Amino acid sequence: MSKKVIITGGAGFIGAEVVRLAVQEGYDTAVIDSLTYAGDKARIKDIEEKITFYKTDITDREGIFDIFRKEKPDIVLHLAAESHVDRSILDPSLFLRTNIIGTQNILDAAREFKVEKVINMSTDEVYGELGKEGIFTESTPLNPNSPYSVSKASQDMLGRAYFRTYGLPVITVRASNNYGYWQYPEKLVPVVILKAYHNEKIPIYGKGENIREWLFVTDCAKGILTLAEKGKAGEVYNIGSGEERQNIEVVKAILDLMGKPHSLIEFVKDRPGHDFRYALDFTKIEKETGWKVEVKFKEGIEKTVKWNIEHIDWLIEKKKDLERLWAKVYKK
């Protein structure tokens, strides 16, 4: 009999990739997603008949408990979150409510219904920032710098507290910068592709020298499911790629693949509190589970650009949705 898994945020960028992989691996899969602006069932349309979908916000405690009562999951992959740093700077409250209170609801439901394993999805941003040297290990103290990363650090610590206090079998995952198919056009890679497609100026914070570690979304999804199967409860695991790039390098790589001039790049005032560099030591997940990075940056960015050009209508429509959201919420 296949294991029952609940995946929160399963219509999101990373979540949808995990859903597809879970179905492929034979899991009996239920998805919880409130379908905010960043959620889209189109991401999982090809497998929608193979899953059970609940349009529910994780802050709806009664709704979450009802779903757990009905589904009786063996495993919970908690990926639902507000995730865009710029939006967290403008409106921290939504991030605190979703990422902290929503996570409490998921953990309480998992505890009530005696779930075998909970994956609590964190981020490398909880560590703060690095200079040009150094690397984050799982034991690096947390030092978040944006409202988003503070909310994720709180979620991260809450999950570990539930393991320590209640014995809830929580595994904490801290992943580096994901990119790939179906990414919403508020993140760097799809924004650059869309603007370059229309020959528009591409705004880059500061001088574009901030460094991120770029992880292809399929590798991240495989890492999450590998930890659901082989990870040890109570432990923290970094998922990285070793593929560090300056933002400006990423932008130029995309422009080159699209045959667009670098003159489209326009440097703008830096973001408040912009972390300089993240880099993860991910040898723990490799040694304990056998997971390995499969997609190098050169291959991944080529696949990503190709996919986005082939699905440019989706990207354009999502951009319109985003503009409507900002006009409504932020009066811009």
What does the alpha-carbon distance between residue 138 and residue 118 come to, in Å, rounded to a whole number?
18
Spot the catalytic one: 17, 57, 71, 124.
Answer: 124
Catalytic residue check, 205: no
Sign of the alpha-carbon dihedral angle for 181, 184, 185, 191: negative
Sign of the alpha-carbon dihedral angle for 185, 186, 189, 193: positive
Q: 131 and 91 in contact (C-beta within 8 Å)?
A: no
Give me Rg for the CA atoms of the chain: 19
Spot the catalytic one: 54, 148, 181, 237.
Answer: 148
Catalytic residue check, 181: no
Q: How far is CA 57 from the centre of its chain?
A: 17
Catalytic residue check, 294: no
What does the alpha-carbon distance between residue 224 and residue 219 come to, in Å, rounded to a whole number?
9
Torsion-angle region of 307 (φ positive above 0: left; ψ -120 to 50: alpha; else: beta): alpha
- Tell me how long the chain is: 332
Q: 71 and 113 in contact (C-beta within 8 Å)?
A: no
Spot the catalytic one: 57, 71, 82, 125.
Answer: 125
Exposure b/e, 227-245, CB count within 10 A at least 16 = b:
bbeebeeebbbbbbbbbbb
Residues with catalytic function: 124-125, 148
